[in-house]
Amino acid sequence: MPELNLDVADLRTFIGCKDFDASRDFYVALGWVVAYDSDHIRLLELGDRYFYLQNYYQKGWCDNNMLHVSVDSVDDWYTFVKDVFAKNNFPKPARYGDSIKDEGYGRVFHIWDPGGALLHIAQFH
């Protein structure tokens, strides 16, 4: 059998949204850049990391979408997120957690996007 090349070049998840433009604006306010844009899908980039924002909503699915974002300083990100939320009126259920918590593997706080997806902002120990 010939040797197979099973290298993985990238891995991207799909996140649904209730309001395609409101979700784009939410992520852009948090620093993501729209790298590709169409009527049905947007590729969002943050620090050479990507995910697809899909123009599709199903409550149960969106409420169970999660992104884990590993950062160098969870404290700086928490300060930044509080400031972004203070300056923007994002549609519900967009919100952020009231504190940074130690989850054993690292320090974490949570952000919920306008479609219900949960972002884990984490700094590993």
Q: Which domains does the chain have, with CATH numbers?
A: 14-124 (3.10.180.10)
Q: Mean pLDDT score of the chain, rounded to an integer?
A: 97
Give the C-alpha separation, 122 to 41, whole Å: 26
Q: What is the pLDDT of residues 74-114, one digit of tens each?
A: 999 999 999 999 999 999 999 999 999 999 999 999 999 99
Residues 6+ apart with CB under 8 A from 62: 15, 16, 17, 18, 115, 116, 117
Give the C-alpha separation, 52 to 102, whole Å: 29
**1 band by pLDDT with thresholds 50, 70 and 90:** confident
Residue 117: per-residue pLDDT: 96
